[in-house]
Amino acid sequence: MSIVLVGSTSGSITLQEPAVSGSTVLSLPAVSGTLITTGSSGQSIPKAALPTGSVLQVVQTVKTDTFSTTSTSYTDVTGLSVSITPTSSTSKILVMYDVKGSCENIQIAFALVRNSTQIYIGDASGNRRRASSVVGGIPDPSESNRFPQQGCAIFLDSPATTSATTYKVQAVVNAGTGYVNRAGDDQDENYRARVASSITVMEIAA
């Protein structure tokens, strides 16, 4: 049997019974609000109602210009940062960076940073550099100076906040100059590449 709901001013809504055998129960929520259907327009499921593991938002920054540093202490890679405001303090933030680097001397190291705190770096051990990823390490430094190589990191962070949070990449060299998005010698030849780097963050419901 169908149920007809008459509009307060005009029109009506018909609740049509399905053609099924047996009994079927449709439980309505005991709260005020709007039912979301596949026919809804301009409506969305509240983020708080999504199950654990759902992606709530994605933010990305792409860096296409070049960067260089001679600093032997970590320094921000300009243009390689992204800000996200979690919708819940229990959310996880999946952080992924893809940075192309080259160097004149041994290596250029990268560190992932949340606001002002380095995260996802190796343990301290003597004079060894703590880093999230490293580009270089080729026995002949002239080879690592020649072409940009890829350094990547993927980390599931727990910032425990609903405030705007910035994730960024820092770089450091042991000597000489380190570069991002270009070859070390940067010759104006078609076998020397200019490349792009990025950092992407995703809020995950937890």
Q: Has residue 43 been placed in a domain? A: no
Q: Has residue 95 been placed in a domain? A: yes
User: How confident is the model over 174-199, as pLDDT tens digits?
Assistant: 988 999 999 888 888 888 889 999 99
CA atoms of 85 and 164, how far apart (whole Å) = 4
Range of weakest confidence among 27-31, 85-89, 108-112:
27-31
Q: Has residue 196 been placed in a domain? A: yes
Residue 102's CB: how many other CB atoms inside 10 A?
Answer: 26
Range of weakest confidence among 27-36, 85-94, 127-136:
27-36
CATH code, domain with 151: 2.60.120.1340
Q: Has residue 173 been placed in a domain? A: yes
Q: Residue 190 burial by CB count (10 A; 0-12/13-18/19+): exposed, middle or buried?
A: exposed
Give the residue, 23 or 151, on which the prediction is more confident: 151
User: How confident is the model over 131-172, as pLDDT tens digits?
Assistant: 999 998 555 655 655 688 999 999 999 999 999 999 999 999
- pTM higher than 0.85: no
Beta pairing partners, 107 = 136
Is residue 92 over pLDDT 90? Answer: yes
Q: Would you state the structure tokens that stand for residue 192, as one six-digit string?
A: 């020397």
Number of domains in the chain: 1
CA atoms of 145 and 148, how far apart (whole Å) = 8
User: How confident is the model over 112-132, as pLDDT tens digits?
Assistant: 999 999 999 999 999 999 999
Residue 205: half-sphere exposure toward Cβ, Cα within 13 Å: 11
Beta pairing partners, 182 = 194
Q: Has residue 94 been placed in a domain? A: yes
Phi, psi of 63 (to 5 degrees): -110, 120
Q: Has residue 38 been placed in a domain? A: no
Predicted local distance difference test score (pLDDT) of residue 140: 60
Q: Would you state the structure tokens that stand for residue 124, as one six-digit string?
A: 């301290």
CA atoms of 166 and 37, how far apart (whole Å) = 36
Which helix (H) or strand (E) segment holds residue 179: the answer is strand 178-180
**Host domain of residue 190:** 55-204
Range of weakest confidence among 36-40, 92-96, 157-161:
36-40
Q: Has residue 108 been placed in a domain? A: yes
Residue whose pair of structure tokens reads 């499921």 in the numeric block: 45
User: How confident is the model over 49-73, as pLDDT tens digits?
Assistant: 788 999 999 999 999 999 999 999 9
Are 40 and 49 contacting, i.e. CB atoms less than 8 angstroms apart?
no
Q: Has residue 23 been placed in a domain? A: no
Is residue 86 over pLDDT 80? Answer: yes
